[in-house]
Amino acid sequence: MNKSLRYLTVALCAAVVLAPAVYGQSTTGAIRGVVTAQADGSALPGAQVTAVHEPTGTRYTSVADSSGRFRMLNVRVGGPY
């Protein structure tokens, strides 16, 4: 009985220690970039960017910030987009 309790205690401690690592696994991605004018390469703040995951048709949108940078978080992994 004492040996079983010891194994149970070790297993519970291992589960508590390893739980954050398992929870931290991610199955999403991110898309980021900069929107610039073709003519002079200047940033285009406020530009709306849309990415479409072709296999599913899922659409993701973002708006470029003051420096033309955008990012889309929690997008499906893989592509093509």
What are all long-range contacts of 62-68, with beta carbons under 8 Å and residues at least 24 apart? Answer: 64/34, 64/35, 67/34, 67/43, 68/34, 68/35, 68/36, 68/42, 68/43, 68/44
Closest CA relative to residue 77, chosen from 27, 31, 32, 33: 27
Which pTM value belongs to this model?
A: 0.64
pLDDT string in tens for the chain (81-residue length) = 576 667 667 666 666 666 665 555 668 899 999 999 999 999 999 999 999 999 999 999 999 999 999 999 999 998 899
